Amino acid sequence: ALHAGVTVRTKTTCVGVEETIDGVRVQLRHDGEDAWVQGKYLLACDGIDSRIVRFLGLNAGRKKILQTQILHYYFAGVQCPYPDAWVQFMGNGFNGVSGSMLHKPDSEGCTDIYEFGVIPPENKDLGVSETMKLLTSHPMMKEWLANATLIKKMGCKWTLWTPIAEPARHRICIVGDAASFQEVENQGAVMCGYKAAKAVALTEQGGDGSALYNTFWKRSFEFNDPDMLKTTWKGFLFRYLGKENIDYLISLANGKMLDGYVNHFTCTDVIWDFYKTQMGRIEQERPELAEKIREFEKNGLEGRSLSF
C-alpha cells in the first residue's frame, strides 16, 4: 500500500463523516487534534460497532440483537490438556460463570499462551472483571494457571446488529464486519476488501460499483438471509440454561455421534435437529425445559437482554 502511494495514519480515529457532491469528507483525530480530509470514496472497515456506520446514520434501519461487555485475558505458561481445542465453559458451572479459552501463537519469548474470555451471568449484577476472577479461581482453572503469567488484557463493548442489506451506496462502501451481523471471518474480510476495490474501479469506469458490491455481499454471507440469521441465534439458548439442564441435554447424546462443522450456522442446526428428535423424552422428564426450548426456537433473542 505504501509503495502504491497510500498515506497510512496510525493512532488516528475517525470522529465525523460528511458526504459531498463529488466525494466524502472525514474528520480525523490524531494526538488530540482534528482535521478534515477530502476523498473521492470512503471504504469503511472499522469493524463491529463501527463509528462510521453510526455517523452515517446507517444503524437506523438495523435491529440490535444483543449488547454486552467483553473482557479477555492472555496468559502465558498455561498447562492445558486440550492444546488443539477451543474450550468453552458452559452452563455457569465454573463458580457461577461461563466463558472460553483458546490457544494462541507463541510470541515475544512466551509459550503456551491462552486467551480467556468470560460471559457475565444473566440477570446478575456482576461485572466482567469480577466474572473473570470467578472463572480463573475455579479449581480446574487454578491448576491450569498454577505457573502462568498474565501478559495482556483486552476489552470492548460488543453489539450484535442485524446486517446492513446494501452496504455500498454512492461513494461509500461499508466493508466487512462493519456491515455484518458478526465477523465475516478472515477469508470473508479479504474478499470484502477485494470486491470493494473492484467496485471503486468499476464506478471510475462509469459502471455501477455499488450494485456489484451489494450483489457480492448478499450472495456470499449466509447471515443476510433472515431465516439463517435466526438459526444461529438459537445457539444462545445455552446461555439461558443452568448447569443441570445442560448436563441433562448433553446426556441425551451419550453414545451418539453428531457431525461437526466449522460453519457455526450448520452446527446450530445439527444440535437443534438432534434435540427435536428427543423432545418427546424431554417433555416427559423435564416439561419446563421443553417449554423453554420451544419458546426459544419460536422467539430466539426477542425480548431478551445481555446488556451489562
| pLDDT single digits (tens) 106-142 | 998 999 999 999 977 766 788 889 999 999 999 999 9
Q: Which residue has the higher pLDDT, 299 or 306?
A: 299
Asked if residue 301 has pLDDT above 70, the reply is: no
Strand partners, 39: 24
pTM of the model: 0.77
Task: Please state which of the ranges 79-93, 127-141, 234-248, 267-281 shows the lowest mean pLDDT.
Answer: 234-248
Handedness of CA 44, 157, 115, 101 (dihedral sign): negative
pLDDT digit string, tens, across residues 20-73: 988 999 999 999 999 999 999 999 999 988 999 999 999 998 988 777 788 999
Nearest in space to 300 (alpha carbons), one of 169, 143, 151, 162: 162
Q: How confident is the model at residue 123, as a pLDDT?
A: 64
CA angle at 220 for the pair 214 and 221, rounded to the nearest 5°: 100
- Residue by residue, DSSP assigns 15-74 as EEEEEETTEEEEEEEETTEEEEEEES-EEE---TT-HHHHHTTTTTT--EEEEEEEEEEE
Amino acid at 106: D
Q: Are 89 and 98 in contact (CB under 8 A)?
A: yes
C-alpha cell, 190: 479479504
Q: Are 40 and 209 in contact (CB under 8 A)?
A: no
How confident is the prediction for the chain on average, in pLDDT? 89
Asked if residue 290 has pLDDT above 90, the reply is: yes
Handedness of CA 267, 270, 274, 277 (dihedral sign): positive
